[in-house]
A = this chain, B = another copy of it.
Amino acid sequence: MISNKTIGRLSLYRRLLKDVINDNQRNIYSHELAGLAGATAAQVRRDIMNIGYSGNPNRGYDARELATSIGNFLDHPDGQRAALLGVGNLGRALLAFFSGRRPKLSIDAAFDIDPKKFGRVIHGCHCYSTEDLATVIPEKNISIGIITVPANEAQKACDNLVRIGIHGILNFAPVPLKIPSNVYVEDIDMTMSLEKVAYFARTATSGGK
């Protein structure tokens, strides 16, 4: 079983390798990649062994081959599609950010309860009524949910996604979601993070962390 943290590091390695490749560097040693990723060389080697790739002791890893191997491991060969629930400020911001970033990972439908948004195309993504969730999601073969509704609607949005067979949820609503054990949730609370930074920016001078 590959851990949550390993998957996170593999995602990071792949993105760091893109910079390396763009700089026309052909090979990379585990200690170099470790330096970029803030990990140890042993950690990098273990993570990469986990996906069945191995470097050459003299030249390190072939950067392109390694990036491809990580891609083959992380990505579904046919790609994966996500649905975004809640087209407010945050939802729109995320549509703008993720739009076209990943060929194998796209937001293919957005849902809202506001009729003024139905049928609109926002940053390339079609907006539907939340009532159409159970038809649109299987139709578009969507396997990921992104929750950007207000806090007090988040559990309901989550329950709806779980009911129609979604097993992975990225939750931006500032509430802990109750989920069955076969569903995976990642929480991101940007307001909390900014408020923490603000607090410690004031107290950090006196050593707070």
Contact = CB atoms under 8 A, between A and B. Distances in A.
Interface of A: 1-2, 4, 7-8, 11-12, 15-16, 19, 36-38, 74-76, 80, 82, 89-90, 92-94, 96-99, 101-102, 105, 143-144, 146, 150-152, 166-170, 174-176, 181-186, 188-202, 204-205, 207-209
B80 A192 contact: no
A168 to B, nearest CB: 3
Contact of A197 (B16, B144, B175): B144
Given A168-B198, A192-B8, A16 B184 contact: no
B80 A202 contact: yes
Contacts of A151: 15-16, 19
A192 B96 contact: no
A98 B36 CA distance: 30
B182 A37 contact: no
